[in-house]
Amino acid sequence: MSEPAKDRRKERLDRGIKVRTDGIYAISHWTEIAYLLTPRLLFIVGLLLAPVILIPFPYWQRVLSIVCIFALLAISFDFLANYVGLVSLGGALYMGVGGYSAALLNSHFGLPPLVTVPVSTVLGGAICTVLLLPCLPLRGVYFAIVSLMFPLLAGRIIEALDVFGGTDGIMGVDGFSSGWVEQYVLICSVLAAVFILRRMVSEDVGLVFTGVKDNDQAVKASGINITTYKAFGVFISSMLGCLGGACLAHIYMWAGISQFALDFSIIPIAATVVGGGGTLIGSVIGCIILVPISEFLRDFGTLRIAVYAIILTAFIVFKSEGIMMYGTRKYEQFERWVRI
Amino acid sequence: MNQEPLLVVEGVSKAFGGVLALSAVDLKVYPGDILGIIGPNGSGKTTLVNSITGFIQVDRGKILFKGRDITNMKPHKIADMGLTRTFQVMRPYYSLPAFKNLIVPLFSPRARRTGGWRGGGKMGSRDTVAVDILEEIGFERDSYIPYKTASALPTGYLKRLELARCLALRPEIIICDEVLSGLSMSEMASMVPLMEKLQMEGITLVMVEHRLRELFRIANKVVVLNFGCKIAEGSSDEVMESKEVKEAYFGSEEEVFSYV
Ligand SMILES: Nc1ncnc2c1ncn2[C@@H]1O[C@H](COP(=O)(O)OP(=O)(O)O)[C@@H](O)[C@H]1O
Ligand SMILES: [Mg+2]
């Protein structure tokens, strides 16, 4: 950024496509349609082509799957925090519940991955929602803390009671039939999650969620049960996490206590901060940046966390709006210097 | 009046720690009433509204709405029955445009059952009904104001938005917690006919107020609270003449006229 001089200032002009409110566009010409669709298509086509581009690098194909799993968690966090107003650190809980469900369904009932994944998504979502139900009246940091206790507890309980394979976990889980299935199941899930949720939050139900976040008293005074809506929000969000967890169990062909690891709660939040909260796509972009970095840093061992912390701090200090907001602004507005 | 009362409050008491915010308050609201509730600051008016609408639990007493016991029921259930309220501290959904604020109540079970304000939700889209309500309540339809983000609206419009939120539910009673206070003279001048219009539409109003002149003009009965006790009740004139009221509420006799 150049030095702000005294006799000039930066002027920002909208590109003149957006009129009235968000989401209502007056489109007249194909160039304008292209202008609007390009970023979306770039995102979709880019993700869909990524496994093909990465054919020469099988290791990075696997990283791509992990990126998608974290992206699901990050979308789940972003949705719950920025659209429903519940800051949940329960990512690890969703991962664990999803992973163990898929592993159990597969090893005990012999169901194939393409069945266990959707079943554990819904079943796991329901289990997590029931677990979090008593905490729904809590707000802000209290909800965050309690949601963090669950994954910690779950790991210890499995260890102490020696259920579900105890510390060894559940081994011998089937993998996906091929790497392609693995990657495309995940990529399609991420795309579906982003676009379905973005659609939903602008529908009338989505406005009720916004209402719960902005001011739950007024929602109550409107004759709406906020607990129902919060539970619904938690269900959607934990389904996404469980979907990721179920896929992870099939990728590693194993489910164990490490699926309740705090990384699954923390990294999605970092990704949302980096990418820009409240956009859903931003959190995916955040994962695309952070997860590969974390792979690069694997050699540094625990120093990884330090590097992470520095990146995160830098983002909060210098670009607190997140990449997504910054990019949107640059894309939709002209900027120029004008003399005063 | 030989009608059944719509809302009955019987001996309601509420203490916050050592402060007795309400002590054995009785109240009856009949269909079509505009009941005024007045009292100095801290006399328990808002606490009474919160008790009736389920936002706080009462310690003692009973509240009946349409003959049903609603004491300590959940706020959303009470609202669902048609007993709605505004908040003294205005609570719009700040990040949404004004008309989108009304989508929330229009999406509520009650509005979907009844069609919302004048049953409009059964015919048009919720967005249209929302703008209809806002127009009814004094937002200029063809201006940009209904589309403006709630955080950018001036106080007068926010007060109206509070009322609009209640109307969207197609309520039987609206309890207004100080909708007139904080308004300019001209804003108030337009609110009074609005309240009268709502009464004509068959909505019963309970108006908790500080501003006496406007309230006395439209209320057909006034209840006076002081230190959580009901100290007087009657028509505007009777209340104004009552000695206890002059002493408790106005401090001294002369001051009455500076208020009214
Ligand atoms: N949530 C609360 N906690 C403690 N005290 C309260 C609370 N709400 C109200 N009070 C007290 O109850 C009394 C009545 O307050 P309120 O009903 O707000 O009066 P009004 O609306 O007539 O100005 C005041 O003394 C106030 O301090
Ligand atoms: Mg008050």
Sequence-distant (6+) residues with CB within 8 A of B120 are B128, B129, B132
Residue A205 at interface with chain B, using a CB cutoff of 8 Å? yes
Both B98 and B26 in one domain: the answer is no
Question: Confidence class of residue A285 from pLDDT cuts 50, 70 and 90?
Answer: very high
Closest Cα to atom 14, ligand 1: which residue?
A: B44
Residues of A with Cβ-Cβ distance to B89 under 8 angstroms = none
CA A340 to chain centre: 44
Residue A119 at interface with chain B, using a CB cutoff of 8 Å? no
Say whether pLDDT at A193 is over 80: yes
Both B165 and B177 in one domain: the answer is no
pLDDT at position A211: 93
pLDDT at position A1: 43
Mean pLDDT of B46-57: 95
**Every domain of chain A and the residues it spans:** 54-262
pLDDT at position B46: 94
CB–CB contact B104 A223 (8 Å): no
Both B163 and B177 in one domain: the answer is no
Read off the pLDDT of residues B104-141 as tens digits, 9 standing for 90 and up.
Answer: 999 999 998 887 777 666 667 888 889 888 988 888 87
Domain that holds residue B148: 90-169
Mean pLDDT of B167-185: 89
If you measure from the C-alpha of residue A137 to the centroid of ligand 2, how many angstroms do you get, rounded to a whole number?
A: 25
Q: Which residue of B has its CA nearest to A226?
A: B76
Both B202 and B247 in one domain: the answer is yes
Q: Which residue of A has its CA nearest to B107?
A: A204
Say whether pLDDT at A209 is over 70: yes
Both B56 and B117 in one domain: the answer is no
Both B177 and B203 in one domain: the answer is yes
Both B75 and B197 in one domain: the answer is yes
pLDDT at position A20: 39
- Candidate from B46, B59, B176 with most ligand 1 atoms within 8 A of CB, to mutate: B46
pLDDT at position B54: 95
Domain boundary, last residue among B169, B200, B227? B169
Both B159 and B194 in one domain: the answer is no
If you measure from the C-alpha of residue B74 to the centroid of ligand 1, how many angstroms do you get, rounded to a whole number?
A: 20
Q: How many residues does chain A have?
A: 340
Q: Could you give the CA distance from residue B222 to residue B240 in angstroms, rounded to a whole number?
A: 10
Domain boundary, last residue among B147, B169, B191? B169
Q: Which of A84, A73, A81 is nearest to A230 (CA)?
A: A84
pLDDT at position B260: 44
The reported pTM is 0.88
| SS3 at position B211 | coil
If you measure from the C-alpha of residue B42 to the centroid of ligand 2, how many angstroms do you get, rounded to a whole number?
A: 7
Q: What percent of chain A has pLDDT over 70?
A: 91
Residue A22 at interface with chain B, using a CB cutoff of 8 Å? no
Both B138 and B191 in one domain: the answer is no
ipTM of the complex as predicted: 0.89
pLDDT at position B106: 92
Please tell me the distance in Å from A251's CA to the nearest CA on chain B.
41
- Shortest-distance atom of ligand 1 to CA B49: 17
Q: What is the DSSP string of B153-203?
A: S-HHHHHHHHHHHHHHT--SEEEEESSSTT--HHHHHHHHHHHHHHHHTT-
Closest Cα to atom 9, ligand 1: which residue?
A: B47
Read off the pLDDT of residues A81-91 as tens digits, 9 standing for 90 and up.
Answer: 999 999 999 99
Give B206's strand partners.
B35, B175
Residues of B with Cβ-Cβ distance to A218 under 8 angstroms = 87, 91-93, 104, 165
Domain boundary, last residue among B169, B185, B214? B169
Both B101 and B159 in one domain: the answer is yes
- What are the phi and psi torsion angles at B170 (to 5°)? 55, 65
CB–CB contact A223 B147 (8 Å): no
pLDDT at position B251: 60
Q: Could you give the CA distance from residue B210 to residue B182 in angstroms, rounded to a whole number?
A: 10
Read off the pLDDT of residues A112-164 as tens digits, 9 standing for 90 and up.
Answer: 999 999 999 999 999 999 999 999 998 888 999 999 999 999 989 998 888 88
CATH code for the domain of B22:
3.40.50.300
Q: Which residue has the higher pLDDT, B254 or A302?
A: A302
Q: What percent of chain B has pLDDT over 90?
A: 44
Q: Could you give the CA distance from residue A129 to residue A234 in angstroms, rounded to a whole number?
A: 6
pLDDT at position A18: 47
Both B17 and B67 in one domain: the answer is yes
Alpha helices for chain A (secondary structure H): 30-53, 58-79, 91-109, 113-132, 140-161, 179-202, 204-214, 216-221, 226-252, 263-275, 281-296, 303-318, 322-332
Both B165 and B179 in one domain: the answer is no
Say whether pLDDT at A313 is over 50: yes
CA B61 to chain centre: 21
Read off the pLDDT of residues A26-70 as tens digits, 9 standing for 90 and up.
Answer: 555 677 777 778 888 899 999 999 999 999 999 999 999 999 999
Sequence-distant (6+) residues with CB within 8 A of A161 are none
Report the number of distinct structural domains present in chain B. Answer: 2
Residues of A with Cβ-Cβ distance to B107 under 8 angstroms = 204-205, 207-208, 224
Residue A136 at interface with chain B, using a CB cutoff of 8 Å? no
